[in-house]
Structure 1
Amino acid sequence: MARVAWFEPVALPGRSRPLHGQGRLVLLLIALMLLAGCASRDMATQDPRAGEGLSIERALILATAEGALGTPYRFGGNSPEGLDCSGLVELSYRAAGIPVPRTADDQYRTLPEARQARPGDLLFFGDRRKATHVGIYRGNGQMIHAPGRGRQVVSVPLDVDYWQDRFLGAASPAP
């Protein structure tokens, strides 16, 4: 199969002129959206539709969490010097002026449940008796979290069996 460069026109069946530039980009985005719709399994997530923005609080939460990418894990940490999973949540929500409990299980038990996670919401994982881990839903099937000793804050895909098997629920404390 011949490789097509991004700048080369693409002809569609039944169309006399090939697509150029923006038309091609629109076609690619539509294809990606259709594929993304098939990717989710058990976790109900909802990303903002085109034209719908995030609240300022959610934007601040996500910006803070994204700014923490690469921060080393530190048990009990809730500062830029080191973070554990619930410390990342506390730090990110504090930046948006939203107080949250300190531990993953307290967050899970006290924050308002979300049926569908939106960017900035919390995702909880555990063993059905207790939430032992929390991450921040980034959108597009990704979560930002502090994975554990010897690692750093990262963004990971949620379609992995490990997360699917341990998922407890989502919370939405941000407007």
Structure 2
Amino acid sequence: MKISISKPILTLIFLFLSVLGAESQTIKQQLKAYREEGVKKELDIKGVNPEAVITSARYFLGVKHRLGGLDHEGLDCSGLVYISFQKHGISMPRSSSEQGRYGKQIHARNSLERGDLVFFHMSWSKKLVNHVGIYLGDDEFIHVSSSNGCIISKLSDKDWKKGFLFGTRVW
């Protein structure tokens, strides 16, 4: 059986694949520049273990998204991380982009451990690091979604798998 594809369709397929490749290359270049600007900063964890921070984060499950929020009236993804660490006297930056500069970077999803922070580039923003959550183990992480509020999601879900940049281990 011979399949015939018209020239315009082939052109569209080529353009689509080119855009995907260019986007991937741009992300790689941005990630390289991000690392060169400084990562692996130390965080004074004051002897707190990851379970305490995870428990604090779980306290916000079901809370709606609110940009810049830090309480049960609403919060955003970096706010969840910020407040969950702050409750234990740990000073964490407020933005996901700056939070990603702390700890040892973990590049393989299968190397993540409970309590690691997970960072993403989602297509809705031009910023490289624009989403963060806390890894719970078993492919799950807690985060704040703009549409669903504070929830637990799977790293292997299509969008999160595609957007995953790296994890960090601050412990």
Please report the TM-score for the alignment, with normalisation by the length of structure 1: 0.62
| Alpha-carbon separation, structure 2, partners of 1:64 and 1:129 | 27
Post-superposition shift, 1:129?
A: 6.0
1:15-42 deviation per Cα after TM superposition (whole angstroms, max 9, x unaligned): xxxxxxxxxxxxxxxxxxxxxxxxxxxx
The 5 Å alignment of 1:5-20 reads none
- How many residue pairs match? The answer is 118
| Alpha-carbon separation, structure 2, partners of 1:142 and 1:124 | 13
The reply to whether residue 160 of structure 1 matches residue 157 of structure 2 is yes
Indicate the SS of the match to 1:153.
strand
Post-superposition shift, 1:56?
A: 4.5
| Alpha-carbon separation, structure 2, partners of 1:118 and 1:74 | 28
| Alpha-carbon separation, structure 1, partners of 2:49 and 2:63 | 22
Which residue pairs with 2:141 in the alignment?
Answer: 143
| Alpha-carbon separation, structure 2, partners of 1:64 and 1:137 | 13
Post-superposition shift, 1:118?
A: 1.5
Match 2:96 to one of 101, 104, 116: 104
How well do the aligned residues superpose, as a CA RMSD in angstroms?
1.9
Indicate the SS of the match to 1:131.
coil
Which residue pairs with 1:80 in the alignment?
Answer: 72
1:140-168 deviation per Cα after TM superposition (whole angstroms, max 9, x unaligned): 110101000x4320001111121111111
Post-superposition shift, 1:120?
A: 1.4
Post-superposition shift, 1:121?
A: 1.3
| Alpha-carbon separation, structure 1, partners of 2:66 and 2:98 | 19
1:40-81 deviation per Cα after TM superposition (whole angstroms, max 9, x unaligned): xxxxxxxxxxxxxxx842111110111110011100112232
Letter in 1 for 2:162: D
Letter in 1 for 2:154: P
- Segments of 5+ residues of structure 1 without an aligned counterpart are 1-54
State percent identity of aligned pairs: 32
Letter in 2 for 1:124: F
Structure possessing the higher radius of gyration over alpha carbons: 1
| Alpha-carbon separation, structure 2, partners of 1:88 and 1:117 | 19
| Alpha-carbon separation, structure 2, partners of 1:86 and 1:167 | 15
The reply to whether residue 125 of structure 1 matches residue 120 of structure 2 is yes
- Segments of 5+ residues of structure 2 without an aligned counterpart are 1-46
Which residue pairs with 1:70 in the alignment?
Answer: 62
Indicate the SS of the match to 2:82.
helix
Indicate the SS of the match to 2:161.
helix
Please report the TM-score for the alignment, with normalisation by the length of structure 2: 0.63
Indicate the SS of the match to 1:99.
coil
Which residue pairs with 2:49 in the alignment?
Answer: 57
Give the helix-richer structure, 1 or 2.
2
| Alpha-carbon separation, structure 2, partners of 1:114 and 1:98 | 19
- Asked if structure 2 preserves the Cα contact closer than 8 Å seen for 1:58 and 1:96, the reply is no
